[in-house]
Amino acid sequence: MSDAPVTQAIRHHLLTDVIGAVVDEPREVLLDGRHSQAIRALLEQRGVLVFPGVHFSHDEHVAFTRTLGGYVSDYEDGSATDISIDPAGGSTARYTEASFFWHFDGYMNTVPILGSIMCCVRPAPVGGDTQFCNSYVAWEALPDDRMAMIEGLYAVHSLAGAQLSVEPEPSYATFQEWRQIAHNTLPLVWTHRSGRKSLVIGNTATNIVGMDPLEGLDLLTYLRDWATQDRFCLTHSWSAGDAVLWDNTGTLHRATPYARDSGRLMRRTKLAGEEPFSA
Ligand SMILES: [Fe+2]
């Protein structure tokens, strides 16, 4: 990367060789937007940025998101989204349990979201960490024969595929409901405008177009296992008030298991996508 002067403008330290950085700037400085360009540059380099103990209020969380790019809300009133698996919190809780498995967000869109910012309102007493892996570096480290084998292949992604990992024996009516919500066919290798490439995999992908189903599952299992080796990964253990920003186009993520009644509550905003998937 050639934008080192930009990223040097913001105080930070690196977490591993290939993924993650902690931004050491006070919340007031983050909110006034002076470092938005440096944060974007650092995000592209490191995939995941941690802002420990910034304690953004809901409105500050949204305002910080807006300093970094387009803000996408799940709601008409523009509010951020609460993330919880407590069934008392609403009907989407059961879909959230699929986040216990490696995935990226926005597979159903032509232009996936650029990133997410998650703030910890209340951590789980046990479990509930968030893990990330760098899907750029995982691609770059692949053996040459695997690279040659998978370039040009497409995988089918669906909400049904993801939900089967949570509920392997749904009623037929439930399966029909899942099928109608979201699916998409995406290249296994994303060639970004920058020229870098990343793996597009995760628990939403269940088969490879034109490949025997078991062969396809074999390949997807190999790639997920490869990409999520410890050397490509980072685990964030949450404290109340932490914020984490991740590049959804160059990482996978998952939550480590926690109990439905743990009280864990996160608040999330999304940055608008800027680049379509491309083979
Ligand atoms: Fe997610």
Q: Is residue 211 part of a domain?
A: yes
Q: Is residue 278 part of a domain?
A: no
What is the tens place of the pLDDT at every residue in 69-102? 999 999 999 999 999 998 886 667 778 889 999 9
How, if at all, do strands 81-83 and 265-271 pair? antiparallel
Q: Is residue 279 part of a domain?
A: no
Span from the CA of 98 to the centroid of ligand 1 (angstroms): 9
CA distance 5 to 179: 47
SS3 264: coil
Number of domains present in the structure of the chain: 1
Span from the CA of 135 to the centroid of ligand 1 (angstroms): 15
Span from the CA of 13 to the centroid of ligand 1 (angstroms): 25
Number of H helices and E strands in the chain, helices first, is: 10, 16
Span from the CA of 99 to the centroid of ligand 1 (angstroms): 6
Q: What per-residue confidence (pLDDT) applies to 23? A: 98
What residues are neighbours of ligand 1 (ion), with CB under 5 Å? 99, 105
pTM of the full structure: 0.94
Span from the CA of 248 to the centroid of ligand 1 (angstroms): 9
- Cβ neighbours of 177 (radius 10 Å): 14
Span from the CA of 114 to the centroid of ligand 1 (angstroms): 12
Q: Is residue 276 part of a domain?
A: no
Q: Is residue 277 part of a domain?
A: no
Q: Which residue has the higher pLDDT, 127 or 96?
A: 127
What backbone torsions phi and psi does residue 91 show, to the nearest 5 degrees? -75, -15
Span from the CA of 145 to the centroid of ligand 1 (angstroms): 30
Sign of CA dihedral 270, 271, 274, 275: negative
What backbone torsions phi and psi does residue 104 show, to the nearest 5 degrees? -125, 170
Q: What per-residue confidence (pLDDT) applies to 1? A: 44
Q: Is residue 35 part of a domain?
A: yes
CA distance 223 to 200: 10
Q: Is residue 187 part of a domain?
A: yes
How far is CA 64 from each of CA 27, 145, 152, 205, 272, rounded to the nearest angstrom? 9, 43, 38, 32, 14
Span from the CA of 101 to the centroid of ligand 1 (angstroms): 9
Span from the CA of 5 to the centroid of ligand 1 (angstroms): 31
What is the tens place of the pLDDT at every residue in 139-186? 999 999 999 999 999 999 999 999 999 999 999 999 999 999 999 999
β-pair partners for 51:
243
Span from the CA of 257 to the centroid of ligand 1 (angstroms): 14
SS3 51: strand
Residue 136 confidence (pLDDT) above 50: yes
Sign of CA dihedral 205, 21, 5, 9: positive
Q: What per-residue confidence (pLDDT) applies to 4? A: 61
Q: Which residue has the higher pLDDT, 6 or 206?
A: 206
What is the tens place of the pLDDT at every residue in 11-49? 999 999 999 999 999 999 999 999 999 999 999 999 999
Span from the CA of 104 to the centroid of ligand 1 (angstroms): 6
Span from the CA of 69 to the centroid of ligand 1 (angstroms): 19
CA distance 228 to 221: 11
Report whether 135 contacts 252 (CB < 8 A).
Answer: yes
Span from the CA of 134 to the centroid of ligand 1 (angstroms): 15
DSSP track, 108-149: TSSS--SEEEEEEEE--SS---EEEEEHHHHHHTS-HHHHHH
Residue 124 confidence (pLDDT) above 60: yes
Segments forming the whole domain that contains residue 218: 4-271
SS (H, E, C) 190-258: EECCCCCEEECCCCCEEEECCCCHHHHHHHHHHHHHHHCCHHHEEEECCCCCCEEEEECCCEEEEECCC
Q: Taking all residues of the chain, what is their mean pLDDT, rounded to a whole number? A: 94
Span from the CA of 268 to the centroid of ligand 1 (angstroms): 10
Span from the CA of 254 to the centroid of ligand 1 (angstroms): 7
Where is average pLDDT lowest: 91-105, 168-182, 193-207, 248-262?
91-105
β-pair partners for 116:
246, 270
**Range 205-226 average pLDDT:** 97
What is the tens place of the pLDDT at every residue in 41-63? 999 999 999 999 999 999 999 99
Residues whose CB is less than 8 angstroms from the CB of residue 4 and which lie 6 or more positions away in sequence, other chains included? none
Q: Is residue 145 part of a domain?
A: yes
Residue 7 confidence (pLDDT) above 80: no
Span from the CA of 188 to the centroid of ligand 1 (angstroms): 18
Report whether 262 contacts 58 (CB < 8 A).
Answer: no
Span from the CA of 252 to the centroid of ligand 1 (angstroms): 8
Share of the chain above pLDDT 70, in %: 96
Residues whose CB is less than 8 angstroms from the CB of residue 96 and which lie 6 or more positions away in sequence, other chains included? 83, 84, 85
Span from the CA of 22 to the centroid of ligand 1 (angstroms): 20
Span from the CA of 213 to the centroid of ligand 1 (angstroms): 26
β-pair partners for 267:
82, 119
- We report the CATH number of the domain holding residue 56 as 3.60.130.10
